[in-house]
């Protein structure tokens, strides 16, 4: 009988080798993350098959199971998990999604006070609205007197002539003399300044020599005319100022319960690479994570003289730096008409009742050229279109692309949709298009626009959500902050209650239900963005992103809905209380 197998030397060596192999195997095997089961008074999953629950199990950033604490006990035992009851008295929903924001707008505008027709509550303070010319002027004088930084002009955001009366260069000269003062219009698409402001910035009459978008005598730059001014505003983008402003924006998202936001205009200031770097630096430094998806905008590439092919190549290069917090998505933003707040949307017959006209932002052949390149590259197109004439241009564009380069499930999305017709809703559905709507437009603008601009009938039908729902058009709600407060609950309130700024009731036919409105800021928003398999509802396999509310948004009164307290967000399974 052989004794080789009894050799002590061989046995020790083989044992050491076996142990080493086991250690290496253990190191190579992934370590299972801790399973945590969050309990809640109620969980609204936004999943039709299992609409409510009271417990959700998460592990490694994903949802593992949904049910009750009792039904999940076997899973807890098998995975050696634990129960977290910090939300036991709260209501959980999927983390809210805002599918149309501009991170760099609040990052710039919150550097200064707000003075608008509506009230604003911001991380930087409370800013009551002013709705009369006298009230606006009085408050403006007080704010200007408080401005102490002589290195930058005073800027206030929120001016609108329909409430505050006409204010131009000469008015600001008379009120403030040699102190540089600028008014940033409520639309963000217009700037008005006095002599001292333009002198400080080095903006001259020569800069105002454009076909459209400037009125030097009035000190007024708007829409494409802003190209002459924005490059002179470099102080807004210093790392300290811009970083502080970005933290304000990120705090606004957290306080609103938003865990994913889709930007709709990277590059509006003319330096997209710098803007992306600034957004990423702030997002990675901020203690509360959020998912930001950035969308390049056509006007940036036009201003920089880039062809559609060059634009696509730049965007693909930017995407190489994507991470889980900040990414440049496969989205591309088109601009069709002007701002609704400025009365520069393109309206079909009978147009504006006072005879003024809107503006076209980009010539139709140029829109087609850029759209074709990005359509064929598989990008999702988003088109800023406010008036019904602009909606017609969008419909022609998508119909032409679909005819020449058929593409199923393209999800082309019209953005804002301030005024449209019932027939256009049906055409959107026929083309497989979607709508991302700002319901706050009806709240703040419909009464003012019912007089000299649109008349009572068209003004009452602004942001016609009921029409979209009747025609089966997929829809979502957005803030376009600061065009509306960065608050999905405010959007749900505006869409389902449909009140005006004075408290009047709007058309019942253009409301949507509370349930539909909540869907539009959760699962519906995720579908509009093409991320319905990742976020937007609470089911096994999706990302563990939640918002905790003090009570159920489905059952509270309309008055209370938009004031519900957000208690916390949960991002990838980690809770972040709102302080």
Where along the chain do its domains lie?
30-89+543-555+566-579, 104-236, 237-536
pLDDT (0 to 100) of residue 518: 98
Task: Give CA–CA dist 562/88, Å, rounded.
Answer: 22
pLDDT (0 to 100) of residue 23: 42
Is there a cis peptide before residue 482, judged by omega within 30 degrees of 0? yes
Whether residue 371 contacts residue 397, with contact meaning beta carbons closer than 8 Å, is answered with yes
Q: Output the pTM of the full model.
A: 0.91
* DSSP designation for 182: E
Task: Give CA–CA dist 331/333, Å, rounded.
Answer: 7
Whether residue 561 contacts residue 115, with contact meaning beta carbons closer than 8 Å, is answered with no
204-244: pLDDT as tens digits: 999 999 988 999 999 999 998 998 999 999 999 999 999 99
Length of the chain in residues, anyone? 579
Other CB atoms closer than 10 Å to residue 534's CB: what's the count? 15
Phi, psi of 188 (to 5 degrees): 70, -10
Around 141, how many Cα atoms within 13 Å sit in the side-chain half-sphere? 11
Quote the tokens at residue 4.
Answer: 């080789």
Quote the tokens at residue 169.
Answer: 């260069």
Q: Which residue has the tokens 């889980």?
A: 324
SS3 at position 300:
helix
Whether residue 509 contacts residue 461, with contact meaning beta carbons closer than 8 Å, is answered with no
Quote the tokens at residue 229.
Answer: 């001014």
Task: Give CA–CA dist 259/25, Å, rounded.
Answer: 37
pLDDT (0 to 100) of residue 212: 87
Whether residue 130 contacts residue 78, with contact meaning beta carbons closer than 8 Å, is answered with no
**104-236 and 237-536 have identical folds:** no
Whether residue 435 contacts residue 471, with contact meaning beta carbons closer than 8 Å, is answered with no
Whether residue 233 contacts residue 266, with contact meaning beta carbons closer than 8 Å, is answered with no
Q: Is 113 exposed, middle or buried (0-12, 13-18, 19+ CB in 10 A)?
A: buried
Closest among 199, 137, 135 to 172, alpha carbons compared: 137
Quote the tokens at residue 348.
Answer: 């079909």
- Domain at 104-236, CATH class: alpha beta
- DSSP for 523-565 reads HHHHHHTT-TTTSSS--TTSB--EEEESS-TTTS-HHHHTTPP
* DSSP designation for 349: T
Closest among 326, 319, 254, 259 to 534, alpha carbons compared: 259
Beta strand pairing call for 413-416 and 434-437: parallel
393-419: pLDDT as tens digits: 999 999 999 999 999 999 999 999 999
Task: Give CA–CA dist 209/199, Å, rounded.
Answer: 17
Closest among 536, 481, 453 to 44, alpha carbons compared: 536
Greatest CA separation found in the chain?
Answer: 114
Helices (H), 110-221: 133-146, 161-164, 169-176, 195-201
> In DSSP terms, which residues pair with 92 in a beta bridge?
43, 548
Task: Give CA–CA dist 80/142, Å, rounded.
Answer: 61
Q: Which residue has the tokens 């204010």?
A: 167
Low-confidence ranges of the chain (pLDDT < 70): 1-31
Task: Give CA–CA dist 258/283, Å, rounded.
Answer: 14
Helices (H), 405-544: 422-431, 440-449, 455-460, 465-470, 488-497, 514-520, 523-528
SS3 at position 360:
strand
Domain spanning 30-89+543-555+566-579: CATH superfamily: Urease, subunit C, domain 1 (2.30.40.10)
265: left (phi over 0), alpha (psi -120 to 50) or beta: left
Phi, psi of 62 (to 5 degrees): -120, 160
Phi, psi of 460 (to 5 degrees): -70, -20
Q: Is 237-536 assigned to CATH 3.30.56.10?
A: no
pLDDT (0 to 100) of residue 32: 72
Is there a cis peptide before residue 258, judged by omega within 30 degrees of 0? no
Phi, psi of 100 (to 5 degrees): -155, 95
Task: Give CA–CA dist 552/555, Å, rounded.
Answer: 6
């Amino acid at each position: 009988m052989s004794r080789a197998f009894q050799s002590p030397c061989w046995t020790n060596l083989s044992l050491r080798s076996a142990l080493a192999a086991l250690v290496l195997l253990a190191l190579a095997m992934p370590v299972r993350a801790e399973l945590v089961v969050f309990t809640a008074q109620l969980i609204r999953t936004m999943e039709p098959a299992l609409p409510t629950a009271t417990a959700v199990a998460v592990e490694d950033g994903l949802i593992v199971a949904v049910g009750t604490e009792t039904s999940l006990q076997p899973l807890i035992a098998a995975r050696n998990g634990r129960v977290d009851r910090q939300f036991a008295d709260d209501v959980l929903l999927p983390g809210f999604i805002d599918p149309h924001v501009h991170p760099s707008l609040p990052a710039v505008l919150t550097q200064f006070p707000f003075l608008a027709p509506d009230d604003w509550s911001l991380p930087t303070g409370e800013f009551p609205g002013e709705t009369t010319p006298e009230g606006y002027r009085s408050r403006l004088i007080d704010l200007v007197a408080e401005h102490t930084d002589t290195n930058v002009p005073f800027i206030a955001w929120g001016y609108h002539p329909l409430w505050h009366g006409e204010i131009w260069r000469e008015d600001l000269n008379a009120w403030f003399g040699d102190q540089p003062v600028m008014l940033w219009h409520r639309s963000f698409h217009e700037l008005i300044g006095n002599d001292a402001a333009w002198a400080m910035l080095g903006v001259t009459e020569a800069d105002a020599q454009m076909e459209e978008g400037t009125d030097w005598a009035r000190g007024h730059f708007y829409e494409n005319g802003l190209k002459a001014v924005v490059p002179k505003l470099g102080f807004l983008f210093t790392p300290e100022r811009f970083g502080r402003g970005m933290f304000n924006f990120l705090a606004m998202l957290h306080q609103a319960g938003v865990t994913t936001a889709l930007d709709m205009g990277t590059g509006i200031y003319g330096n997209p690479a710098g803007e992306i770097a600034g957004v990423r630096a702030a997002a990675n430094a901020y203690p509360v994570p959020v998912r930001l998806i950035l969308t390049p905008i056509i006007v940036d590439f036009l201003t920089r003289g880039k062809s559609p092919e060059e634009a696509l190549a730049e965007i693909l290069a930017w995407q190489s730096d994507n991470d889980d917090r900040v990414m440049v998505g496969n989205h591309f933003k088109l601009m069709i008409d002007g701002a609704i707040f400025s009365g520069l949307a393109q309206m079909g017959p009978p147009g504006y009742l006072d005879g003024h006209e809107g503006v076209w932002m980009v010539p139709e052949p140029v829109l087609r050229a850029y759209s074709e390149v990005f359509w064929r590259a598989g990008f999702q197109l988003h088109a800023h279109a406010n008036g019904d004439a602009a909606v017609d241009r969008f419909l022609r564009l998508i119909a032409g692309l679909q005819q020449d380069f058929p593409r199923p499930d393209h999800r082309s999305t019209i953005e804002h949709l301030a005024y449209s017709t019932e027939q256009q809703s049906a055409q959107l559905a026929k083309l497989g298009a979607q709508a991302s709507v700002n319901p706050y437009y009806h709240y703040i603008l419909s009464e003012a626009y019912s007089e000299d601009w649109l008349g009572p009938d068209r003004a009452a039908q602004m942001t016609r959500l009921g029409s979209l729902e009747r025609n089966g058009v997929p829809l979502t709600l957005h803030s376009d902050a600061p065009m509306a407060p960065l608050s999905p609950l405010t959007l749900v309130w505006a869409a389902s209650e449909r009140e005006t700024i004075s408290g009047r009731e709007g058309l019942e036919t253009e409301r949507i239900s509370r349930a539909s409105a909540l869907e539009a800021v959760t699962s519906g928003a995720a579908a509009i963005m093409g991320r319905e398999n990742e976020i937007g509802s609470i089911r096994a396999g999706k990302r563990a992103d939640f918002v905790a509310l003090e009570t159920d948004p489905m059952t509270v009164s309309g008055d209370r809905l938009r004031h519900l307290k957000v208690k916390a967000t949960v991002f990838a399974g980690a809770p972040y209380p709102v302080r």
